[in-house]
């Protein structure tokens, strides 16, 4: 009577062993080859790249690569939203990274005219553009290349993930011709208002925050100023005003700022990744007579009409 029980027990043990072996042979973790194809940005050469995988349920997974071509990772079988961008940056910050749709890159808050600290001019007192007084002063972004794909299947059959990074950051170049009395300038700086404060990587669009971005201006000739600044662009669907301010500290200690409404030139630029602003005239004053000391406490404003 005991033999049937022994046979039944042996059969159950054998079946249990077979089940475990089957599960082991179909592991849920697989090797994935990640390829960053730089066809759309052949000039890019980032020192490192980050890949974020957003599973259908659970927290995002970040992988880091020190080779711009990509590398190999291990991932669990499943479907993911994928997002990549270069991580070799200093001023870039991240917000709302829990979800693919809300993943945003932005920049640190900075001061308006840091170049003037050596001249004893405080940045806190520098004027901002009319209507932009409440905008955050944001550092210009470094170059960012990104790509994203929704609903990517990763499995033994689909074990290669290829992404095609392209630029998320553009450049705005400013040139001011026929500037007067540049020989008497000790310091120059500039700011641009109404620009996007960040970039929604998953959506591929500029974020809604509006910021003012400071940048450097310098003499390119005896009568010409030039400067450039990288930005996340602006929101074409909003009628945002963009004001360029040029700040100048003269040799006599007086402080001047010149405002230009550059909205039309920004919005009508044929290439929003390469905006070029051309202006005519910077009416800096003549030097003061010998022995006359002007009041240097306040900034003196000049609105410049744009004719070009």
pLDDT digits (tens, 9 = 90+) for 34-79: 999 999 999 999 999 999 999 998 899 999 999 999 999 999 999 9
* pLDDT band with cut points at 50, 70 and 90 for residue 127: very high
The whole-number pLDDT of residue 222 equals: 94
Residue 7 lies in a domain: no
Q: Does the residue 80 lie in any domain?
A: yes
The answer to whether 43 touches 29, Cβ cutoff 8 Å, is no
> Is there a domain that residue 2 lies in?
no
Tell me, yes or no, whether 8 lies in a domain: no
Averaged pLDDT for residues 181-191 = 94
Is residue 227 domain-resident? Answer: yes
> What pLDDT is stored for residue 117 in this prediction?
75
Question: In terms of residue numbers, what domain contains 235?
Answer: 22-303
In this structure, is residue 17 part of a structural domain? no
Residue 16's pLDDT band (cuts 50, 70, 90): very low
Per-residue tokens: 151: 């609903």
Inside any domain, residue 95: yes
Q: Which of 156-160, 256-260, 286-290 has the lowest mean pLDDT?
A: 286-290
Q: Both ends of the chain: CA-CA distance in Å? A: 107
Q: What global pTM score does this model have?
A: 0.85
The rounded distance, in Å, linking the Cα atoms of 274 and 13 is 71
In a domain, 14, yes or no: no
Q: How many domains does the chain have?
A: 1
């Amino acid at each position: 009577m005991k033999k049937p029980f022994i046979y039944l027990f042996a059969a159950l043990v054998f079946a249990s062993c077979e089940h475990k072996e089957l599960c082991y042979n179909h592991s849920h973790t697989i090797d994935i080859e990640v390829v960053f194809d730089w066809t759309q940005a052949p000039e890019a050469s980032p020192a490192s790249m980050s890949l974020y995988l957003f599973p259908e349920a659970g927290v995002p997974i970040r992988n880091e690569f020190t080779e711009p071509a990509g590398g190999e990772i291990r991932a669990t079988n499943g479907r993911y939203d994928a997002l990549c961008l270069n991580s070799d940056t200093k001023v870039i910050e991240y917000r709302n990274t829990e979800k693919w749709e809300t993943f945003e890159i932005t920049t640190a808050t900075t001061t308006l005219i840091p170049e003037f600290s050596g001249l004893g001019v405080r940045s806190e007192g520098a004027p901002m553009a009319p209507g932009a007084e409440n905008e955050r002063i944001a550092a210009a972004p470094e170059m960012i290349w990104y790509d994203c794909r929704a609903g990517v299947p990763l499995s033994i059959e689909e074990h290669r993930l290829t992404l095609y990074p392209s630029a998320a950051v553009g450049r705005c170049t400013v040139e001011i011709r026929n500037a007067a009395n540049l020989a008497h300038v000790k310091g120059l700086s500039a700011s641009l208002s109404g620009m996007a404060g960040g970039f929604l990587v998953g959506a591929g669009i500029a974020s809604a925050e509006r910021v003012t971005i400071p940048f450097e201006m310098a003499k390119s000739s005896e009568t010409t100023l030039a400067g450039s600044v990288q930005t996340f662009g602006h929101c074409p669907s909003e009628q945002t005003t963009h004001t360029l301010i040029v700040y100048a500290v003269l040799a006599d200690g007086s402080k001047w700022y010149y405002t230009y409404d550059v909205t039309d030139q920004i919005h009508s630029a044929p290439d929003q990744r390469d905006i070029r602003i051309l202006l005519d005239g910077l009416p800096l004053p003549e030097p003061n007579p010998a022995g006359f000391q002007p009041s240097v406490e306040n900034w003196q404003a000049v609105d410049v009409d744009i004719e070009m």
